[in-house]
Structure 1
């Protein structure tokens, strides 16, 4: 604004040629004549920036078609790639319509209700720890059908045993994740009974204390009996001086950090390669946990590993 007003002042008030003034102000002659014309037509208001939006949009999506897009998004929770073929529009056009109407990405919504999921993060380490159990099928010695392929002897034996009611069983991965730092601890057990869960919580608290989180204030779990009505679990919480917190019924996203950690655990450890046995898989867990806590970048932490929040908060510096 100041430069445009100065251009007008030198040309109009001082009577100087436009060609000389634009050289002094380091702009083109066309730019100088443009702002001078706008000032003469509109006065000082003509020197303000104008919107670059077109006056007419002859190819804009019709309003009734936009309403169909919005209706499909609201009722069926579909994304642009699936809405496009239903209404005869390109997915990019559907995306532009959804963006124009301020609709959130599906990844940000709770699918059953369509409400925006409000993400949160506790202010300090230990304020809230998420606890959950990831159930994995046990692996036979020598590897199961996933290692040897469908149609293999291992695959056929597994089907025969299932039909006979003989199953190899499950491994239960008990996990604890600190809400603020995302620091995680995990153990593998043969069950998820209350006594097992309570003992795991004691060891998890000791592990967190060794890594710079001396106290756990609250523990969030789902509504399983081992947590909800267990004396052993309540005693473990009392020993630690922690308060229980429970997820809302049928809303696993309430414990979203634990659910997301379970997914990462499965993708980057449990199913990263074929294992020859459950023991082989279990042996790989401590190394993966160390990588997760100390070296793996975390998008919610600005690309830094979870342990970085301990070193920043506590100045430890040696957990690298």
Structure 2
């Protein structure tokens, strides 16, 4: 009888077989445990469950624990969800790291990044993304000290009246501290130089700068035309090393570009969008204060603020002199009908008087910083040699009678 009963069970679960062996065959629980290779405790629990629940004892049971030691209270969960919404509405980073920082700094609650991420996902506040390239695979460059390198770049912004503006940022590479931010209708070379001077007046002279190859920053890709621009002359005057990104490699200036992305996410999220440059500048100043002093930065140690990191270490200074770093170039031009040839230096156009007797003569200008030699392109005759006075647009002939030196 017992053998038939067991065979009739066919492919049913081991639990049913074990219970049948104890209840129907009336075998001892110890013997059944030995026969089927299970513990006596499990057989005892199984039989007790069958006698209490009947057929329901064979239904699958959830293995989920009755309590979760890592679970957080409902108030903290609600706070996480609220912080996520508030930070997102303000156009700020609202990831698990930032939320953890706000919980710790402003609410005296410590919650792990993984726990916050889990609850954000549970509430549908995280959009699943394909697996990203691991952060460890990126090669990162970071200045060792504040003022060792300043990054600069500008970006566009549309005002509420539909007109365009441009925002120029100076950012410290080591600390991500926003040194100076200004908005203009259009960013020009003199504006870059002037804002750099303003940043220097407050924060000191940096050891180097890092920008892209825009003409407002450098003329090195201009084919030798125009010489140094206003900003480049200022860097040489202060002995600041100039660095530029490789063409078509914008990630070299990634820190300032990431900053601009954060700023451009924040600006549209603010109520009362600005319609004038004055209103936009006021909004930018608010953002700069929040970014520097009140917002944790994910790339900084211990999620510190940029202001804290910038002030924590001594500032770097320019290394060595750039007096010997002269800029030489060769220009081909023609003297105009009034006897003048023009030359751009330091972003400013200078008029060099050569004499009406040489009107329409094709010339070669040999330029070594401020020192200029004007040579007849056909005969090789030196027509004029001078040192440019940067304060004057017109460079007059000192003595017209001796402008043309005698032939040897």
Post-superposition shift, 1:139?
Answer: 2.5
Higher relative contact order (CA 8 A, sep 6+): 1
In structure 2, the CA distance between the partners of 1:107 and 1:206, relative to structure 1 (3 Å rule), is farther
Query: Helix, strand or coil for the counterpart of 1:106?
Result: coil
Separation of aligned partners in 2, 1:107 and 1:176: 29
1:122 to 134, 138, 143: 143
Q: Is the 8 A contact 1:198 1:236 kept in 2?
A: yes
Query: Partners of 2:274 and 2:213 in 1: how far apart?
Result: 34
Cα deviation code 1:202-242 (max 9, x no counterpart): 112223x2xxxx33011111111111215201112123321
Question: What is the aligned partner in structure 1 of residue 313 from structure 2?
Answer: 313
- Return the alpha-carbon distance in structure 1 between the equivalents of residues 206 and 297 of structure 2: 22
What is the CA distance between 1:132 and its match in structure 2? 0.2
Radius of gyration: which is bigger? 2
What's 1:64 paired with?
none
Greater strand proportion: 2
* Alignment partner of 1:222 is 2:217: no
Which residue is equivalent to 2:303? Answer: 303
Q: Secondary structure at the match of 2:243?
A: strand
Matched, 1:139 2:160: yes
Which stretch has the larger CA shift, 275-284 or 224-233?
275-284
Q: 1:274: how far off?
A: 4.6
Offset, 1:276: 4.6
Between the aligned partners of 1:107 and 1:248, the Cα distance in structure 2 is 24
Cα deviations by residue, 1:50-103 (Å, 9 ceiling, x for unpaired): xxxxxxxxxxxxxxxxxxxxxxxxxxxxxxxxxxxxxxxxx99x96xxxxxxxx
| Change beyond 3 A, Cα 1:107–1:130 | farther
Counterpart check, 1:106 vs 2:133:
yes
Is the 1:216–1:241 contact (alpha carbons within 8 Å) kept by the matching residues of 2?
A: no
Whole-angstrom CA distance in 1 between matches of 2:252 and 2:268: 24
Judging changes above 3 Å, is the alpha-carbon distance between structure 1 residues 309 and 234 closer, same or farther for their aligned structure 2 residues? same
Match in the other structure for 2:174: 180
Q: Any idea what the Cα deviations from partners look like across 1:179-217, whole Å, max 9, x if unmatched?
A: 11111121111211111111111112223x2xxxx3301
Classify the secondary structure of the residue corresponding to 2:187. coil
Does residue 1:251 correspond to 2:249, yes or no?
Answer: yes
- Report the CA distance between 1:173 and its aligned residue: 0.6
- The answer to whether the 8 Å contact 2:159/2:273 transfers is no
Contact 1:135 1:171 in 2 (8 A): yes
Query: Which structure is higher in helix share?
Result: 1
Q: CA separation in 1, counterparts of 2:195 and 2:141?
A: 26
CA RMSD after TM alignment: 2.5
Unaligned ranges ≥5, structure 2: 1-127, 220-227, 316-408
CA distance in 1, matches of 2:267, 2:238: 30
- Measured in 2, the distance between the counterparts of 1:197 and 1:231 equals 10
TM-score (norm 2): 0.40
